[in-house]
Amino acid sequence: MGRRLIAANWKMHGNREFTRRLLADLTAELTRPGACLDNGVEVAIMPPSLLLADCRRGLEKSSLALHGLTLFLGVQNLARWSEGAYTGEISAAMAADQGCRFAIIGHSERRQLMGEDDQAISEKVAQCLASGLKPILCVGETLQEREDGQAFSRVTAQLQQALTQVNPDQWQQVVIAYEPVWAIGTGVSASAEDAQAVHRHIRVTLAALGAPAQEMAVIYGGSVKPETAKQLFAQPDIDGGLIGGASLDANSFASICRAC
């Protein structure tokens, strides 16, 4: 996998009409003359799962392929189990069957609001890899942890616990998203320097776990906007972004893609 990735996390937003319009607007933005999307950048859309089929049809009908562009699909979460009596859950195999390439795992909203723990997250990473999906594993400290000087140690612990079930030949499928909890949805992004420092630390930690850290994508998430994207992505260890709010606007999301 290339190292650069921009992923749109729609969270619990949108409906079928929104999906149709957003994909049409995004296609127009990404294919207009001079749009200059670097073809080394992968772009993925993670809508709510109920909108995956609409998204897939919208992308198939779009003129993106004619311009040599592929937008990948992904889910925002999936089950820690492969199949069975788990009412309301969606398996990694089902996401793959819908054409998904990526899955967000361990987003802080799921850790905080849905009580996801490191054991569940590590099982979900394993489910992704077993079904050929690329997990986008989210890690990041709270404001309190940052103020207490524990940002690095928090991220280290999250990586160590979530990646216990990765086989040596699977590392390159794994994407890490550094998402400081205090920057998500707040309008306050981490500074490029602070984010770079944690990204460097993540690569060092991955290497210590035996991963080919230099070949893996480590992306940043938390209030990325078109105005801040360029500086963040210019850092040597920031390979792209996980974009929430700004991914709901075609113009903003396209300029963030171009900034990568």
Catalytic residue ranges: 107, 179
Q: Which of residues 123 and 179 has its CB atom nearest to ligand PGA in the complex?
A: 179
> Angle 179-183-187 (CA atoms, 0-180°, nearest 5)?
135
The single residue among 51, 100, 245, 255 that binds ligand PGA, judged by CB under 6 A, is 245
Q: Does residue 224 interact with ligand PGA by CB under 6 A?
A: yes
Q: Which of residues 116 and 179 has its CB atom nearest to ligand PGA in the complex?
A: 179
**Contact region with ligand PGA (CB under 6 A), list: 50-58, 141-149, 216-224, 226-234:** 216-224
- Residue 191 carries which DSSP code? P
Site mask, ligand PGA, residues 162-201, x = CB under 6 A?
-----------------x----xx----------------
Q: Which of residues 62 and 179 has its CB atom nearest to ligand PGA in the complex?
A: 179
Name the CA radius of gyration of the chain, rounded: 17
Q: Does residue 240 interact with ligand PGA by CB under 6 A?
A: no
Specify the amino acid at residue 131. Answer: S
Q: Which of residues 30 and 242 has its CB atom nearest to ligand PGA in the complex?
A: 242
**78/90 Cα distance (integer angstroms):** 5
**201/5 Cα distance (integer angstroms):** 19
Q: Count Cβ neighbours within 10 Å for each residue of 220-248 and write b for 16 or more, e otherwise.
A: bbbbbbbebbebbbebebbbbbbbbbbbb
* Smallest gap from residue 76 Cβ to ligand PGA (A): 9
Name the burial class of residue 130, with classes exposed (0-12), middle (13-18) and buried (19+) by CB atoms within 10 angstroms of its CB: middle
- The contact set with ligand PGA (CB under 6 A) reads 9, 179, 184-185, 221-224, 242-246
